[in-house]
């Protein structure tokens, strides 16, 4: 076996805030700082999707990147891009729009879709700024 990992990047731009309605303004500020600004702020997000597998002898591909890109664009980028993560995104409804939670929810959507297409989702990496990002391996703990 020659398990290889391929990664595709897609990007989206979105607004969000970190805010719990049942908390006071003071508590929200204390915990979330300027990320709790009531009127939102936003980011250019980078999403890196990693699929693992054995390269197909005919194509040399673990999975066709065009297909992977189409799946990610249709199911993840379309609902997130130029949207408000707290208000506009069905799969984030009622959840904190932290990068951790987003990465987990993105995994939950993509894992079965990638499997249906003969791949195995291995990792979601979500970059929020040049100074921070989140990685999720479906709950696995590689390190």
Query: From the CB of 72, what's the least distance to its own copies, in Å?
Result: 11
Among 77, 104, 109, 111, contact with its own copies (rule: CB under 8 A): 104
User: Residue 112 and residue 101: Cα distance in Å, rounded?
Assistant: 18
**Which residues from 66-85 bind its own copies, rule CB under 8 A?**
66, 81-84
Using rule CB under 8 A, residue 98 touches its own copies? yes
DSSP, res 140: -
Q: List the catalytic residue out of 10, 46, 120, 128.
A: 128
Task: Answer yes or no: 75 catalytic.
Answer: no
Query: From the CB of 113, what's the least distance to its own copies, in Å?
Result: 18
| Number of residues lying near its own copies (CB under 8 A) | 71
33 Ramachandran zone, left/alpha/beta (phi>0; psi -120 to 50): left
Using rule CB under 8 A, residue 109 touches its own copies? no
- Secondary structure in 3-state letters for 108-137: HHHHHHHHHCCCEEEEEEEEEECCEEEEEC
């Amino acid at each position: 076996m020659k398990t290889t990992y391929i990664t595709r990047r897609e990007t989206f731009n979105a607004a969000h805030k970190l805010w719990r309605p049942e908390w006071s303004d003071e508590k929200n500020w204390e915990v979330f700082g300027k990320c709790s600004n009531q009127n939102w702020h936003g980011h250019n997000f980078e999403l890196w999707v990693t699929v693992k597998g054995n390269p197909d002898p005919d194509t040399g591909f673990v999975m066709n990147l065009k297909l992977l890109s189409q799946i990610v664009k249709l199911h993840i980028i379309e609902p997130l891009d130029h949207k408000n993560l707290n208000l506009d995104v069905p799969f984030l409804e009622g959840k904190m729009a932290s990068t951790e939670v987003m990465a987990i929810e993105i995994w939950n959507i993509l894992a079965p879709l990638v499997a249906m297409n003969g791949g195995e989702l291995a990792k979601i990496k979500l970059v929020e700024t040049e100074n921070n990002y989140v990685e999720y391996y479906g709950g696995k703990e590689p390190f």
